[in-house]
């Protein structure tokens, strides 16, 4: 007889149905203990997808956008979006100008992330990836860790470290470097300049700004890996990528939202002859009008030299004091010379019918000679910069102005 039975019997006779309940409870506890000791099956891995948003009309939306979607087997799909920034934070403008802007990764429900794109009519596609369960779970865990407040911020670069390259790098890491190996050696011949000009073409002021400010580093042919700084290019490469066993990486592709804005523009070759024709016509008009109407020519030169001088200072300061490497060593600095600002007093004097100030003609010669030097690296093909159209436009004009004012009478005519 067990001690347990003796204790019960010591308290008096126990009904039969009570003993049955006791043994039933003991057996139930035994089965529960055994069930808890059995290893539980791991949860199914999440699905991984890539969102690609079409370009928008606002200037910072011209290049499109993307994000990574993590959809648990039993839960809400989360969009991991690397494209958030806060323009109200202290020092934002200063960091932007110096090339030290901070972006952040934000995790939010997929439907919430789609609200803005639905409202403004930007198309969105979703590529579900056929990742092995281990890679999918590892990527989901890495994104969760990356989205923590202490890890979410990163140093933004327009071409080399942006919202699309962050998505590219995360996928490449999950794939064991396979994405980079398949795209590093391929090139379509496009450059950062050609892609920037193509996508900014609908906004002429944006196109003009990119073309003036981008330096020779932006004219090197890109590999497909580098070209994936654009969300659409990354989506194209994911669509073509095969896994080790030959299966396509993209299992299915869905159009989540229709695109109701203008389509992404195609690249158009820039013709040189209109720029050369315009430069020749301006130079010819300068040579003809300066002896007859010096005050008129000088008045027209005031805004021209002011624009050249200010743009030159911007290019010089960007090279000397910022981290915008795509702007460094810009040859347009030779055509848009900061010394043009020193020509303004002389132009103002001539416009008022007075002799030009001392040193005016010497500075004109220096500006024209400096503009001519811009031809040298283009001719030698030393780190070439695609600014031949600016040379065709501005070099004849600088040369004509130097020649015309050098031969202008000391006391110009007072007629306008």
- For the entire predicted model, the pTM comes to 0.84
* pLDDT tens digits for range 233-278: 999 999 999 988 889 999 999 999 999 999 899 888 889 999 999 9
**Spatial separation of the C-alpha atoms in residues 253 and 126, rounded to whole Å:** 6
Average pLDDT over every residue of 334-357: 95
Closest Cα partner for 269 from 194, 205, 202?
194
Q: Which residue matches tokens 């004009």?
A: 397
Question: Which of 11-15, 195-199, 408-412 has the least mean pLDDT?
Answer: 11-15
Gyration radius of the chain over CA positions:
34
Distances (CA, A) of 322 to 112, 153, 191, 272: 36, 20, 22, 31
- Output 32 or 293, whichever has higher pLDDT: 293
Q: Both tokens of residue 274?
A: 């209109």
Of 276, 281, 290, 277, give the one whose Cα is nearest residue 401.
Answer: 290
d(CA 29, CA 333): 84
What does DSSP say about strands 65-71 and 78-84: parallel, antiparallel, or unpaired? antiparallel
> Could you tell me which residues come within 8 angstroms of residue 116 by beta carbon, excluding any fewer than 6 positions away?
none
pLDDT at 33 over 90: no
Mean pLDDT within 52-69: 93
**Per-residue confidence (pLDDT) for residue 269, from 0 to 100:** 85
Query: Where residue 384 falls among pLDDT bands split at 50, 70, 90?
Result: confident
Identify which has the larger pLDDT, 368 or 6: 368
Residue 80 class from Cβ within 10 Å (0-12 exposed, 13-18 middle, 19+ buried)? buried
All domains of the chain, ordered by start, with CATH? 3-37 (no CATH), 47-186+223-257 (3.90.1720), 273-406 (no CATH)
For 270-326, how does the pLDDT look when each residue is reduced to its tens digit (9 = 90+)?
A: 899 999 999 999 999 999 999 999 999 999 999 999 999 999 999 999 999 999 999
Burial of residue 279 (CB within 10 Å: 0-12, 13-18, 19+) is buried
Q: What is the DSSP letter of 342?
A: G
CA dihedral for 200, 205, 208, 210, sign (positive or negative): negative
Locate 115 and state its tokens.
């609200």
Asked if residue 377 has pLDDT above 90, the reply is: no
CB neighbours (10 Å) of residue 53? 26
- Name the residue with tokens 């779970």: 137
Gap between the Cα atoms of 413 and 416, Å rounded: 8
Measured from the Cβ of residue 29, the count of other Cβ atoms closer than 10 Å reads 10
In percent, how much of the chain has pLDDT > 70? 87
**Cβ partners under 8 Å of residue 317, min gap 6:** none
- The mean pLDDT of 51-75, rounded to a whole number, is 93
What is d(CA 50, CA 65) in angstroms, rounded to the nearest whole number?
Answer: 11
Residue 51 has phi, psi (to 5 degrees) of -85, 140
Supply 232's token pair.
């659409």
By CB neighbour count within 10 A (0-12 exposed, 13-18 middle, 19+ buried), where does 415 fall? exposed
Average pLDDT estimate for 71-98:
90
Pairing of strands 102-109, 250-257: unpaired
384 burial type by CB count under 10 A (0-12 exposed, 13-18 middle, 19+ buried): middle
The residue behind tokens 């347990």 is 4
> What is the mean pLDDT of the segment spanning 209-232?
95
DSSP codes, 30-89: HHHHHHHHSPPPPPPPPEEEEEEEPP-SSGGGTT-EEEEEEE-TTS--EEEEEEE--TTS
167-216 pLDDT per residue, tens: 999 999 999 999 999 999 888 889 999 999 999 999 999 999 999 999 99
């Amino acid at each position: 007889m067990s001690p347990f039975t003796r204790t019960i019997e010591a308290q008096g006779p126990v009904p039969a149905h009570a003993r049955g309940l006791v043994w039933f409870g003991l057996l139930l506890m035994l089965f529960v203990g055994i069930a808890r000791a059995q290893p539980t099956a791991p949860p199914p891995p999440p699905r991984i997808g890539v969102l690609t948003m079409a370009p928008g009309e606002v200037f910072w939306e011209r290049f499109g956008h993307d994000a990574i979607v993590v959809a648990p087997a039993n839960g809400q799909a989360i969009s991991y979006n690397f494209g958030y920034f806060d323009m109200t934070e202290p020092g934002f403008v200063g960091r932007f100008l110096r090339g030290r802007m901070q972006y952040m990764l934000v995790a939010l429900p997929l439907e919430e992330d789609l609200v803005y794109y639905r409202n403004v009519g930007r198309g969105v596609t979703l590529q579900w990836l056929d990742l092995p369960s281990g890679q999918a779970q590892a990527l989901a865990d890495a994104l969760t860790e990356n989205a923590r407040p202490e890890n979410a911020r990163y140093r933004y670069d327009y071409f080399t470290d942006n919202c699309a390259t962050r998505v590219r790098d995360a996928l490449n890491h999950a794939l064991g470097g396979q994405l980079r190996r398949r795209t590093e050696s391929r090139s379509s011949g496009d450059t950062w300049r050609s892609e920037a000009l193509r996508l900014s073409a609908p906004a002429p002021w944006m196109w003009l700004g990119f073309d003036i400010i981008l330096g020779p580093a932006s004219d090197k042919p890109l590999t497909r890996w580098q070209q994936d700084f654009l969300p659409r290019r990354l989506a194209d490469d994911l669509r073509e990528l095969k896994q080790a066993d030959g299966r396509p990486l993209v299992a299915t592709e869905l159009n989540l939202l229709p695109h109701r804005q203008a389509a992404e523009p195609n690249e158009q070759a820039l013709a040189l002859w209109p720029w050369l024709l315009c430069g020749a016509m301006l130079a010819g008009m300068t040579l003809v009008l300066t002896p007859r109407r010096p005050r008129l020519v000088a008045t027209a030169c005031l805004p021209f030299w002011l624009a050249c001088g200010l743009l030159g200072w911007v290019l010089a300061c960007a090279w000397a004091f910022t981290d915008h490497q795509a702007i460094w060593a810009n040859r347009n600095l030779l055509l848009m010379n900061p010394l043009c600002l020193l020509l303004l007093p002389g132009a103002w004097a001539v416009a008022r019918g007075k002799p030009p100030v001392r040193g005016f003609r010497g500075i004109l010669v220096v500006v024209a000679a400096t503009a001519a030097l811009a031809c040298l690296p283009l001719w030698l093909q030393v780190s070439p910069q695609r600014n031949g159209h600016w040379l065709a436009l501005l070099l004849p004009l600088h040369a004509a102005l130097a020649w015309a004012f050098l031969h202008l009478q000391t006391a110009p005519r007072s007629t306008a």
